Amino acid sequence: MQIAGDRVLKAVRRVSLFLFCAAFSVLVGAVTVRAELSAEILIGDIPPDRVDELISQNANDPRVVFDLLALKSAQSAPGQAAEIEVVRAALAQRFPQVIDADVGAVLLGAADSFLEAGMKQEALEQLYLALERFRASTTNPKILGDLLERIAVLEKDLGDAKTAADLRKAIGELPGSLDAPPGTRSNDPGFVSVEVFYATDRKQTGESHPSQFFGYDRTDGLNYGKLEVTIPRTQVPGTLSAPSIWRLEFSEDPTKHTMLQSITPVEKDAFFASMRQGLDDRESSDAFIFIHGYNVSFDTAAKRTAQLAYDMSFEGLPVLYSWPSRGATTGYVPDTAVVRLSGRRLTKFLEEFVRESGATKIHVIGHSMGNRALTDALELMALRNAPLDEPLFDQIIFAAPDVDQGLFSAILPTIKPLAERLTLYSSDQDWALEASRRLHGNAPRAGQAGEDTLSHKDIDTIDMSDLGEDMLAHSYVSNDQSAILDISTLFWKSADPTIRCGLEAHPEKAQIWQYRKTDCSNLSMLNVVGHLRNKQAETAAQIKQVLRQDFENAPQALDMEALLLSLAAQ
């Protein structure tokens, strides 16, 4: 799509250079280290005269600064607000693995503020840069057409009728429909597409771009649908790839970056019918449901769900349940206000899923504050369905749960009959849980390890402190796949921790195992376990057969045979 060629390129280069320079003028010498979040930041009700001081105090945490700048922008006059939004866009480009934000959406916000201040030329530059990002990341003709029309109006207002006419001509030349994401027409696109089913009580924003489709307002019921995420074939398990200003990447590329490509709302009956058809067409009839945590947008939750499925080579159905988190560090208290109500809606969805999905094995993963919704939902299910003849779920996993430890322990006996196995992942390095503990009068959180690590007969606690911070956060891993391997192994065999790779029994406390970095971090192990699970290789004979048929030229896989056969012995 050629649009006023040199003029667009000149504007894009000028704004890109500004953003690149802004990244150096903000947070000079900044490092991506988590700040000790204060209760003031978590609560989010910060007076204007405190915002600058807090930005200075938290200058080593770009994500916190990004969110504090959003507060400052909301408290400022339009012209200043626009400049702040440009700086936020620069930060998002400078620290893509820490600030998981849609830079194009931030730039559109800057353009709106510039227009409100009467600064049309500055608004035009932001729109051109947003266009450059969206051209690379979407083929939706409505998104591109609406943006081109906005630019055309401004060009005409600024006296360039010819460019405005060229832009409107380009709108008329847009394809009527392009269902495939960029690059899929290639024989080797360099990325894979992952379909995810979703249920959410987030309200639609009215925006058509996938990253802006759902906001943080809530609805009275549930919205259902399907979404598509593309993941680069070169992506390291445990990470989400994003454009980096250091690599001079100013827009998204599906061969390099994880991208939410499309969202398709579906009515409930059609949703479950499509799910059953999807399971019939797949190698596996398993499904997992992921419930995200605090400070997570729908866009990020969608990409995280797809990433988990891709990393585990999961051939069943990945499903996202998304509650209306604000997706900001300053939104902790508002998040706590909505997550418990979402638990009531989640219990309805889980019961519908068990009844209607057609999945033979259903696994559930709750993360961080999302476990408040999950524990409430499971408790209600257990009470309504007691007594159970057999578990409704295979694995239920509580990852870094931001739930009061005493309350969590009290609920466990009630929910234990719902699953074949309950697993808790904890860490003594989790910044968010430590901040939550301080906010809750120093009451231990269920996901915290150390002296207060939870030991309970009804759940296996895995202390993942060796991996550093929260096991599913952006800071987690880089090149260590061990936590994801453990989840994948559970999905495959529901294996006891005593025989799972890399786990050592706690020397003093029962039902606690400590993760130790071993050969479990080997990427081949993750791939082989996923393949065996998809092939439904359960017995020793089946495992040997698959290894020899499918990995005869992969000595690393055959070297793992003894460990894999030990899992089959259970």
Token pair of 544 as six digits: 């040997």
- Give me the sheet containing 419-426, strands edge to edge: 259-265, 214-232, 191-204, 317-322, 286-291, 361-367, 393-399, 419-426, 460-463, 512-515, 503-505
Largest CA distance in the chain: 78
- From first to last of its 570 residues, what are the pLDDT tens digits of the chain? 444 445 545 544 444 444 444 444 444 344 444 445 677 777 777 888 888 888 888 888 888 899 899 989 989 999 999 999 999 998 888 887 778 788 888 999 999 999 999 999 999 999 998 888 777 666 567 778 888 899 999 999 999 999 999 888 888 877 654 333 333 333 456 788 999 999 999 999 998 889 889 999 999 899 999 999 998 876 655 555 544 333 333 345 667 778 898 999 999 999 999 999 999 888 789 999 999 999 899 999 999 999 899 988 999 999 999 999 998 888 888 899 899 999 999 999 999 999 999 999 999 999 999 999 999 999 999 999 999 999 999 999 999 999 999 999 999 999 999 999 999 999 888 777 888 888 888 899 999 998 889 999 999 999 988 876 544 443 333 334 677 888 999 999 998 999 888 899 998 888 999 988 765 656 578 888 888 998 889 889 999 898 888 887 776 677 778 878 887 766
How, if at all, do strands 460-463 and 419-426 pair?
parallel
> How big, in percent rounded to 5, are the helix, strand and coil portions of the chain?
50, 15, 35
Torsion-angle region of 494 (φ positive above 0: left; ψ -120 to 50: alpha; else: beta): left
Q: What is the CA radius of gyration of the chain?
A: 24
In the numeric block, which tokens belong to residue 102? 């849609």
Cα separation, 527 vs 484, whole angstroms? 11
Burial of 102 (C-beta count, 10 Å sphere; 0-12/13-18/19+): buried
Q: What is the pLDDT of residue 412?
A: 98
Beta strands in 150-285 (DSSP E): 191-204, 214-232, 259-265
Tell me if residue 498 falls in helix, strand or coil. Answer: helix
pLDDT score for 159: 92
CB 197 within 8 A of CB 320: yes
- d(C-alpha 411, C-alpha 409), whole Å: 5
CB 151 within 8 A of CB 127: yes
Q: Would you state the pLDDT for residue 568?
A: 74
pLDDT, position 31: 41
CA-to-CA separations, 559 to 435, 496, 516, 543, 553, in angstroms, rounded: 43, 22, 20, 13, 12
**pLDDT at residue 570 in the model:** 63
At residue 410, the pLDDT reads: 97
